[in-house]
Amino acid sequence: MERKTLLNTREVAHFLDVNEKVVYSLIADKGLPATKATGKWLFPRHLVEQWLESQTSNYPKGADSLPPYHGLLIISGSNDILLDRTISLFNRLYPEHVAVFGNVGSQGGLKALARGLCHIASSHLLQKDEEEYNFEFAFHEFKNELPAVVNFCQREQGLLVAKGNPRGIQGISSLGQPGIKVANRPPGTGTRLLLDCELERAGIKGTQVEGYDREFRSHLEVGLEVLSGRADAGLAIRPVESLLGLEFVPLRWERYDFLISKDRFFEQGVQLFLGLLHEPPFRELAKELNGYDLSLCGKIVFPQSKLSIGQTNEEV
C-alpha cells in the first residue's frame, strides 16, 4: 500500500493518537505543520514526523553532530578582531591542533552549538533588560539546559566616523538626519541587534536610515566603508578606529562570551583554548588593541558553582 504524503485531519489525529479536536489546538499552540491551501487542513507527513521529533525531550544527538575531539577545534558565531588573533596564536602555539572560525553572527553561533556543529559559540546578544547578555537567547535555543558560559572579553561598541568627524555625528540620533549614510551588520549579529535597539530608543525606523540595508560581515568591513567615504558611520567595535585611522563615538561596553556545551567543555582543544586566555602571549595581543577590557576574561559566567577551567570530569 502506497504511503500517503498528505494526511487529513482524521488521519493525522490517528497518527498522533489524539482526538481530532486536539489537532486544531496543536496547530495553534504547538506549531503542528499544516496547510489550508485546498480550503481544508492538510498535513505533510514528513513535516509532521519532524515536528514530532522536535517535541521529544532528551532527544539523542544524531550521527551528524561533531565526533569526539581529534585535533580540530571549531568556533562559530560573532566576529571579533581579538578572537581572530587569538585563533592564529592558538594555531601557532599548538601545531598539533587546528582552530577554525565560522563567521555566522551571534545567533548563528548559538544555533550551530545547539545542533552540535561547533565546540564553542561566540556571542554578545543584548537582552531586553539591557544589562545581561546571551542567557535568554541560549535558553531559547537549548530549551532545557544552558551551556557553560565563559567570558572572552568586554569590548566597547560605538559609531565609526571619518577622521575629524566631518558630518558632526554625535550618536545614534544623528543617523536619522537626511544624507547620513551608514554601513550595517547582518540580522542575527549582536551588533545589528544593538543598533536596532538604539534606533528604537531614539524613535528612528530603519527605513529612515540611508544604507540600513547595506550589510557587511565584519567590523573591519564596516570600517573600510567609512574609510572609503561610501558610508558616513557604522556601528562597530573600537579597535577598528585605530587600525584604520578613523574616529569613534562611544556607545556602550558589552560582554562578549564563549558558550560551550557541557559535554564538550572538558575536551582537550576546548581546555587548551580557554587556558590560553590566561597566558602572557594572549594578554600581550590584547594590549595592542584599544577598546578591550579583560577583567572578566577566562572567568565562568555560568554556572559559577559547577564548572571551573582546569577541573576534570570526575571533580564536577
The pLDDT tens digits along the chain (316 residues) read 456 778 889 998 999 999 988 888 888 777 788 887 677 888 888 888 877 876 666 555 555 578 889 999 999 999 999 999 999 999 999 999 999 999 999 999 999 999 999 999 999 999 988 889 999 999 889 876 789 999 999 999 999 999 999 999 999 999 999 999 999 999 999 999 999 999 999 999 999 999 999 999 999 999 999 999 999 999 999 999 999 999 999 999 999 999 999 889 999 999 999 999 999 999 999 999 999 999 999 999 876 433 334 333 333 3
Q: Which CATH architecture has domain 157-251?
A: 3-Layer(aba) Sandwich (3.40)
pLDDT for the residue numbered 61: 53
pLDDT for the residue numbered 60: 55
Beta bridge partners of residue 121, listed in sequence order = 76, 259
Across the chain, the runs of DSSP E, i.e. the strands, are 6-7, 43-44, 72-77, 98-103, 120-123, 148-161, 182-183, 233-237, 247-260, 292-293, 300-302
pLDDT for the residue numbered 303: 62
Q: What are the φ and ψ backbone dihedral angles of 76, each rounded to 5 degrees? A: -135, 150
The cell for 170 is 554625535
Helix axes 135-142, 105-114, angle to 10 degrees: 40
pLDDT for the residue numbered 68: 86
CATH class for domain 72-154+254-315? alpha beta
pLDDT for the residue numbered 28: 77
DSSP string computed for 48-78: HHHHHHHT-TTPPP-TTSPPSPSSEEEEEE-
pLDDT for the residue numbered 297: 97
Beta bridge partners of residue 257, listed in sequence order = 123, 151
Q: What is the pTM of this model?
A: 0.76
Burial 199-213 (b: 16+ CB within 10 A, else e): beeeebeeeebbbbe
